[in-house]
Each structure stands twice: as C-alpha cells, then as structure tokens.
A and B are shown apart, each in its own frame.
Chain A
Amino acid sequence: GAVVSQHPSRVICKSGTSVKIECRSLDFQATTMFWYRQFPKQSLMLMATSNEGSKATYEQGVEKDKFLINHASLTLSTLTVTSAHPEDSSFYICSAREIAVSYEQYFGPGTRLTVT
C-alpha cells in the first residue's frame, strides 16, 4: 500500500515551453502533497505544499507564477513548469501524506526534467 506515482518519469523540453508533471496517490487519499526539487548531488529542497481544494503554499524564493501547482482531488496534484529554462532542469519529486497517518510522507519515483 501507500504508493505514489509520477508521470512522466523523464521529460525533455525546449526552452520557453511548459511542462506538466502529475503526482498521484494510487491507493490512499492524500490531503496534502509536497513538491521537491533536487539538483545533482544535492539534497531535496521543498518547493511548495499543496492542499486539496486550496491554493498551494510556496517556499521562499520559489516563483509561484513559474511553478503552477494544482491539487484538484485527494489523489492528484500537478506541477506545471511554465516557460522552462535550462536552469529549471532538475529532478522533481512529489510526496503525499495520507489522511489517517499524518506523520508519514510517501514519495513518488521522481521526474527528471531536462530543458534544452
């Protein structure tokens, strides 16, 4: 149980285009989902917290107009990188917290974004 999926696993896009990444909790309902970014050989940095039915909360320094987050249901959150640039190339990982077990976060397999 407690499986989180992400789609796509890898994406290559051209500079200036937008890319959408989906995060789904497959067998549980998630009130809260988190989006992280990880640059090579670095730690994970929280970008934003996404609550179902409300606006996402962004961490300091993260542009909300560039990284659009939508949490339309208890099993799906999406991250859209708008007008992507090469410096947005990174490993994006989502996690989801199950309603009944508030302290556990379950991580998705990640999406590797390369902007050319």
Chain B
Amino acid sequence: ELKVEQNPLFLSMQEGKNYTIYCNYSTTSDRLYWYRQDPGKSLESLFVLLSNGAVKQEGRLMASLDTKARLSTLHITAAVHDLSATYFCAGDFGNEKLTFGTGTRLTIIP
C-alpha cells in the first residue's frame, strides 16, 4: 500500500529556533513536492525535488530528497511567526498523480 507519512503531525516551536519536518514514503517516487497551506486557503507550492540528493532552499526553508532512504526533509532555520502554517509533502509515484502526506501543522511562538 502506498503511504506518505509526515512527522511530526504538530509542531510548536519558538521563534529563532531550527527544526526539521520529515516525510517518509513507502515506494519509489519520481518526484517529491512540498506545499504550504494557510488556514482556509489552498496550497502554495514551495519546492519540487526531482532527483536523489536534490536540495533546494528558499529563505528560511530548505528541502532535500534521499530516494534511497525514501525520505524528504523540510528544514526551517531561525523560524519566524510568518512561517506558521500547515506543510504537506506529496509524491508522484509513477502514475502522475500526487499522494499527499498527513500534513504538519506548524505554530511559531513568539
């Protein structure tokens, strides 16, 4: 069964701290995506990771992909309040459809 699991599901962290969200998946993925969702809103694309070892960074967010470990990470550096949101990873497992992870609800505390 195809599974995409994220942990933690909930994350409360202080401003200025660093943390990592993990995305594990159960089968070979062609591509791995990260999205942000604010309450009541749709998805905002953050990163698309296309190959093993891919690393992408934008501002305080950095995503990486290890296809051998079937693991992607989203690292947050020196968190600020504006990063509070729900983050989803999603995989394209060869059928060009996206399977979403469970989501991580991130709350940044001043």
Interface residues of A (CB under 8 A from B): 32, 34, 42-46, 49, 93, 95, 97, 102-110, 112
Partner of A49, one of B97, B99, B102: B97
Let me know if A93 and B43 touch, CB within 8 A.
yes
A77 to nearest B CB, angstroms?
A: 15
Name the A residues within 8 Å of B96 (CB-CB).
32, 97, 102
Name the A residues within 8 Å of B102 (CB-CB).
43
Q: For chains A and B in complex, what number of residue pairs have CB atoms within 8 angstroms?
A: 42
Given A44-B88, A103-B48, A104-B48: A109 in contact with B41 (beta carbons within 8 A):
yes
Give the number of residues in B that approach A within 8 Å (Cβ atoms): 21
Name the B residues within 8 Å of A109 (CB-CB).
41-42
Bits for B74-100, please: 1 = Cβ < 8 Å to A, else 0: 000000000000001010100011111
Name the A residues within 8 Å of B41 (CB-CB).
109-110
Let me know if B50 and A108 touch, CB within 8 A.
no
Given A34-B98, A46-B97: A107 in contact with B43 (beta carbons within 8 A):
yes
A-B contact sample (17 more), CB < 8 A, given A103-B92, A107-B45, A108-B42: A34-B98, A43-B88, A43-B101, A43-B103, A44-B43, A44-B90, A95-B98, A103-B31, A103-B50, A104-B45, A104-B48, A107-B43, A109-B41, A109-B42, A110-B41, A110-B42, A112-B40
Let me know if B42 and A107 touch, CB within 8 A.
yes
Let me know if B97 and A93 touch, CB within 8 A.
no
A78 to nearest B CB, angstroms?
A: 18
Q: Once bound together, how far apart are the Cα atoms of A58 and B102, in whole Å?
A: 21
Name the B residues within 8 Å of A110 (CB-CB).
41-42
Let me know if B100 and A43 touch, CB within 8 A.
yes
Q: Once bound together, how far apart are the Cα atoms of A45 and B30, in whole Å?
A: 19
Most chain A CB inside 10 Å of its own CB: which residue of B42, B90, B96, B101: B42
Closest-by-CB residue of A relative to B40 is A112
B20 to nearest A CB, angstroms?
A: 20
